[in-house]
A = this chain, B = another copy of it.
Amino acid sequence: MNRGRLLYAQSGGVTAVINATAGAVIETARKHKVEVLAARNGILGALREELINTSKESRAAVAALRHTPGGAFGSCRYKLKAPEQDRAPYERLIDVFRAHDIRWFLYNGGNDSADTAHKLSKIAAEFDYPLACIGVPKTVDNDLAITDCCPGFGSAAKYTAVSVREAALDVAAMADTSTKVFVYEVMGRHAGWLAAAAGMAGAGTDDAPQLILFPERTFDEAAFLERVKATVARVGWCVVVASEGIHYADGRFVAEAGGTDSFGHSQLGGVAPHLAARVKDVLGFKVHWTVPDYLQRSARHLASATDLAHAQAVGKAAVEYALAGHNAVMPVIVRSSDAPYRWKIAPAPLAKIANTEKTLPKTFLRRDGYGITDTARRYLAPLMRGEAPPPYGTGGLPKYVALKNAAVAKKLPDWRR
């Protein structure tokens, strides 16, 4: 083990398949006889010297990460400032890495994490500390630059399209005497990738979802209500998919609508209940709404096989790049063909990915702005393809693994800010 160790950390919102990446990282490193430590609760664990020795996990437990959602070592929302503003955390990380002989750092997250990994690689170079920093892509938001798609997205996309299709069958069956308008809220504050995925639930303009509200477009309430009315008149009912990030022309987010309830207590926002209330008040239709929230990013039971393969491939490649001497890169997914779907993994510089957000291309939006194009469908279909169900126990629930997460003994003083 004198070659040094590899540290793996998860960052930001978890996904249905981020642990599959973790499993691939550990399995690949084990093949190369490299010991993997994991940071507890993401980069914070590295700063706090709260490290986990993954060598204590059995082969079966590591294999079970493939089908276990959540974040096996914990993740965090914690953005390091630029070293020019606050250099101490970076220096602390180098101290911790040095103390534990960590030569490779794999940071599994989005564009913030890519930025952190990139900066850390520079600081290490300044200190002349031999460290390879590899970003590993992950986000249900699918908003990373360079990569064709992000592990985690395909499964959330599949969950969304399937759930919208199923709920729409319910609405269609009941519309004569009950709910006529159903509003489904999807994640995606700035980018409408999951909203677009919902479009895969139907084919024609009269299939559900008949209206998709993308964060890339300004929300025009009057036009929206007019469309809902026309759809109900034509189809008999209407399913609306709304991104959590839609906003009015003046920039206010619709989700900020939370006010006070009838008991005088504050209400939490939510685009779906707000839109549903507007439809009910203005058009008089019976409405229902759903906010799946975390369910859409943790639904491992409905993961896409393509997404799972991506998640494992980036984990494997990240270790291989690290051991081959790459630094400040991310294994990204490169697509060479839609049908048949062909893809490979290639390294891309973190500098090009850090802090950049990829929104939905204009060519993905139908001209009326309320649906997706065939171009979008060609992009989305392979990402949602294939089933990869977890094993189930006799109680009818999936068998998800809980790791031992054995702590590595600390060697440094506590980290205090």
Chain A residues with a Cβ under 8 A of chain B: 10, 13-14, 16, 41-42, 44, 68-72, 74-78, 158, 161-163, 165-174, 176-178, 182, 200-201, 256-268, 270, 273-274, 276-278, 280-281, 287-295, 297-302, 304, 306, 381, 383-387, 389, 392, 394-398, 400
Contacts and interface: CB of A to CB of B under 8 A. Distances in A.
Given A174-B14, A274-B267, A389-B389, A166 B77 contact: no
Contacts of A287: 268
B281 A71 contact: no
Interface core residue of A41, A170, A264 (most chain B CB under 10 Å): A170
Contact of A161 (B13, B182, B291, B396): B396
Contacts of A42: 177
A400 B169 contact: yes
A400 B161 CA distance: 13
A178 B76 contact: yes
Contact of A265 (B166, B261, B281): B281
A170 B265 contact: no
A81 to B, nearest CB: 15
Contacts of A264: 259
Contacts of A44: 176-177
Nearest to A257: B261
A314 B214 CA distance: 44
Given A163-B295, A261-B257, A293-B290, A176 B76 contact: yes
Contacts of A384: 395-397
Contacts of A77: 174, 177-178
Contact of A267 (B76, B277, B294, B306): B277
A69 B294 contact: no
A303 to B, nearest CB: 10
A162 B76 contact: no
Contacts of A260: 259-260
A267 to B, nearest CB: 6
A77 B334 CA distance: 51
B293 A289 contact: yes
Given A76-B177, A166-B299, 13 more contacts: A16-B166, A44-B176, A75-B174, A76-B178, A158-B397, A169-B298, A170-B297, A257-B262, A259-B259, A265-B278, A266-B280, A268-B276, A268-B287
B395 A162 contact: no
